[in-house]
Structure 1
Amino acid sequence: MAADLTNVRSVVPDADDISDGTAGVVTWAGSWSGQRVQVRTIVDTLATRKLPTRWLSVSITEPVAVPGVFDMMMRPNSATTFSNFDHLPHTLPKVLGFPAEAVLKTDRRGVAFPQDLIAAHTEVFAEGRAKELLITPKGVRIVWLLAEAERARYGVFRQAAFGDAGIDPALIERLLEAASTLRQAINRRERQAA
C-alpha cells in the first residue's frame, strides 16, 4: 500500500521495502535516530483465529547486551505467524511489574535477564494492543495489533479486509521510542556493571 510506505517514511525517511515475497508480510528497513530499524506489517490468517489480524512489528536492529533471547508474549493462547515464541523451550518466572497476562520465555536455561529493568519499560503493553516484546542480542522488537478483519466480510466471503486500518506515524514513532529506550537502558546497565 502506497499510504503505508508514505506513513513509514514520515518517521523513517530512508525506509526501503525489503520484503521477501512472503504473502501478507511487508517489511521496510532504514534508520531512525541514528539506529537501524525495521517496520513490518503482517496479515495473520491462521485458521485457529476467530478473525484474521493485521500486526505491526517495529524493531531496533542494533546490539543489545543480553545473554540470549527474552520473549514476553501477552495472552499466548494460540500459535502466531510473526513469532518463534512457541518454540522457545524455557519459561521464565516473572518479577513484579510485568503485566499479569504476560508469559516470559527464553532459549537458554539458567541465564539472567534484567527483568526489573525490562518490567519498568512495559507501559506500552497497558493498553491491550501490544502483543510481544522480543529482546535478543541483535535488537528489540515490539508487535502491536493494528486491526482485526471486518467480521461480516470475512464471514461471508472469507476475505481479510481491514478497512482503513493504516499505519499511524505517531504509533511507529511511539513504538520505536519504547524499543530504543529499553535497549539503551539495558546497554547502560551492562556498561555500568562491567
Structure 2
Amino acid sequence: MSELTSVLLSGAIALAVILHLAWLVRVSRNKARMALAADAASIRAAIPDATDVSDGTAGVAVWAGSWNGERAQVRTIVDTLAIRKLPARWLSVTITEPVAVPGTFDMMMRPGSPTTFSNFDHLEHTLPKVTALPAEAVLRTDRRGVAFPQDVIAAHAGIFAEGRAKELLITPKGVRIVWLLAQADRARYGVFRQAAFGDTRLDPELIEVLLAAASSLRHAINQRERQAA
C-alpha cells in the first residue's frame, strides 16, 4: 500500500468516526427533547397551567403552576454525585403555600450520603422522633429548641411506607415530598459511566398522589395551629 493510499484510508476512517460520533450526539439530543416533552405532558395532565421555569441547572427541570387552588412546583433531578453507587432520578413535588411551623422540619429516609436535591446535611440540629414516624427516618431542623406537630406529621406520613419516598420537607413556605423515580442502569453506568434510566417516565397519577399528600399535611398543620390559638 502506497503512503498516499495509507493517508487517504486513515483520513476516511477518521471522518467516519467523527460522523458517527456526531450522529450519536444528535440521537442523544433528540431523545432528551422527546423525554422532556413527555415529562411536560405528564405534569400538565396533573397541573394544567404548569410552565417550565427551569434555570438551566444541569440535570434539573422545574415546572410551576396551580393545583386545586394552591401554588405547586414539580422538579425532576438527576443526582450523579460520585459517592453514590448509582445515579438516581428524583421527583420533587411541593405545595408552595404558607405553613404554620416555626422553622424548617426535614425528615430524610435512610440518610447515608449527601444529595443534590436537599439541604438536609446543612441543618445543624437533630430532633427527637415520635415512635409513629418511620424507623428509618432522621429528623433535622435549623432552629434549636423548636417543637413541631410530629403527631400530625406522622398521621399523614403513610406514603413513606412504600419505600420510594425519600424526604419530607416542611418550612413556613410550603411542604415538599421527594420520591425516587429510578436508579441508573447498572451495566451502562459501570462500563460507560452513563446515567441511563431506561424508559422511566413521569406518571400523572403519582404526581397527583404526592400533591394530595403534601396539601393534606399542610392543611392539617394549619388547622392544628388555628385550634391551638
- TM-score when scaled to structure 1? 0.99
The residue aligned with 2:46 is 11
Distance 1:53 1:95 in 2: 29
The residue aligned with 2:127 is 92
Distance 2:116 2:133 in 1: 24
Distance 1:95 1:50 in 2: 31
Q: 2:182 aligns with which of 144, 147, 150?
A: 147
Matches within 5 A, 1:13-28: 13-28=48-63
Q: Does 2:95 correspond to 1:60?
A: yes
Query: Are the aligned partners of 1:44 and 1:53 in contact in 2 as well (CA < 8 Å)?
Result: yes
Q: Deviations over 1:89-109 (max 9, x none)?
A: 000000121000000000000
Distance 2:98 2:200 in 1: 32
Matches within 5 A, 1:34-183: 34-183=69-218
Kindly provide the amino acid, as one letter, of the partner of residue 134 in structure 2: P
SS at match of 1:152: helix
Kindly provide the amino acid, as one letter, of the partner of residue 17 in structure 1: D
Kindly provide the amino acid, as one letter, of the partner of residue 125 in structure 1: F
Query: Are the aligned partners of 1:41 and 1:56 in contact in 2 as well (CA < 8 Å)?
Result: yes
Query: Are the aligned partners of 1:19 and 1:28 in contact in 2 as well (CA < 8 Å)?
Result: yes
Q: Following TM superposition, by how much is the alpha carbon of 1:156 offset from its aligned partner in structure 2, in angstroms?
A: 1.1
Distance 1:120 1:37 in 2: 22
Choose between structure 1 and 2: higher helix proportion. Answer: 2
Query: Are the aligned partners of 1:38 and 1:59 in contact in 2 as well (CA < 8 Å)?
Result: yes
Name which one, 1 or 2, has greater alpha-carbon Rg. Answer: 2
Distance 2:221 2:199 in 1: 37
Q: Following TM superposition, by how much is the alpha carbon of 1:157 offset from its aligned partner in structure 2, in angstroms?
A: 1.0
Give the alignment's Cα RMSD to 1 decimal. 0.5
* Percent identity (aligned): 79
SS at match of 1:2: helix
Q: Does 2:77 correspond to 1:29?
A: no
Query: Are the aligned partners of 1:27 and 1:38 in contact in 2 as well (CA < 8 Å)?
Result: yes
Distance 1:39 1:163 in 2: 21
Query: Are the aligned partners of 1:96 and 1:116 in contact in 2 as well (CA < 8 Å)?
Result: no
Q: Unpaired segments of 5 or more residues in structure 1?
A: none
Q: Following TM superposition, by how much is the alpha carbon of 1:142 offset from its aligned partner in structure 2, in angstroms?
A: 0.1
Choose between structure 1 and 2: higher strand proportion. Answer: 1
Distance 1:94 1:120 in 2: 14
Kindly provide the amino acid, as one letter, of the partner of residue 191 in structure 1: R
The residue aligned with 2:8 is none
Higher-RCO chain (CA-CA 8 Å, sequence separation at least 6): 1
Query: Are the aligned partners of 1:130 and 1:143 in contact in 2 as well (CA < 8 Å)?
Result: yes
Q: Aligned residues, how many?
A: 194
Q: Unpaired segments of 5 or more residues in structure 2?
A: 1-35
